[in-house]
Structure 1
Amino acid sequence: MNQNLILIADDDSDARDLLTVTLESAGYRALGAKDGNTAARILTVAKPVGMITDVRMPAMNGMELCQLARSTPATRDMAILMVSGNNHAYDVKAGLSAGADGYLSKPITPRDLVAQLQALISRRHLGA
């Protein structure tokens, strides 16, 4: 796995740009994908250490993308953080059940995003 590479899957280009700037200022490299299918193709080649995915995207949604990543040997151990405008208990539970390690509701602060992502990557790296 690329130890500082994060895949950002979000159909909103402004959100992808903001996440990219936030991650790069924290020392990560970021790759963006405009939908779940594009993200799935990138996962097979880039093998990032983590992924941030929106729930609602065209082609393949974030839940399906999480399930795909968890069922693929090369990406099953990466940290996955789901972000969404939906913060109902059902949505959070569905995201975590799909394989996400964490779930943040939009709007998110850069500090919270980086802290959550770093914690998830550390736990995955330590095998916890």
Structure 2
Amino acid sequence: MTALVIAEDDADIRDLLVYKLMQEGFDVTAVGDGPAALDAVTREIPDLVILDVMMPGMSGLDVCQKLRSEPATKNLPVILLTARAQETDVEAGFGVGADDYVTKPFSPRELLSRVHAVLARVGQ
């Protein structure tokens, strides 16, 4: 089963993501902040990580950058999920190594399509 870690501080969005991704057959671990995301990823490296950009403790950008700096997680697929949609925000997301960037509000079906596309690119 494909394992995902979701880090999203908004409980409603997090619950929606967990529900939709589990319906698709993914094994999902959900957390509410950046440090918890790093802990979850390092405990058991998932197949893909979805990170909210603006979270307490540590931003999704910082988490992504940290994952890219570690040999065990440097190639781990990361999707950033955020309300920040300016061109400079998107550039910053890709600049820290994100594989995709999804802006809120988003369609759960679109996010599922992007999850499948990123996993297909990395051979999952």
Per the shorter chain, which TM-score range? over 0.9
Q: Quick check: 1:55–1:62 contact (8 Å CA) kept in 2?
A: yes
Task: Give 1:122's match in structure 2, choosing from 110, 120, 123.
Answer: 120
Gaps of 5+ in 1: none
Equivalent AA in structure 2 for residue 90 of structure 1: T
Please give the alpha-carbon distance, in whole angstroms, between the structure 2 residues aligned to 1:125 and 1:73.
19
Q: Between Structure 1 and Structure 2, how many residues are aligned? A: 124
Q: State whether structure 2 residue 118 is matched by structure 1 residue 108.
A: no
The more displaced of 88-97 and 70-79 is 70-79
Does the CA contact (< 8 Å) of 1:79 and 1:117 recur in 2?
no
Alpha-carbon offset, residue 13 of structure 1: 1.1
Q: CA deviation at 1:125?
A: 2.4
CA distance in 2, matches of 1:12, 1:67: 22
Structure 2 CA distance for aligned equivalents of residues 21 and 11 of structure 1: 16
1:76 matched to which residue of 2? 74
How do 1:1-128 residues align onto structure 2 when only pairs under 5 Å count? 4-125=2-123
Contact 1:78/1:121 (CA < 8 Å) preserved in 2?
A: no
Structure 2 portions without partners, runs of 5+: none
Cα RMSD after superposing both structures: 1.2
Return the TM-score normalized by structure 2. Answer: 0.95
**Runs in 1 of length 4+ with deviation above 4 angstroms?**
none
Structure 1 residue 61 displacement after superposition: 0.3
TM-score, with length taken from structure 1: 0.92
The Cα of 1:18 is off from its aligned counterpart by 0.6
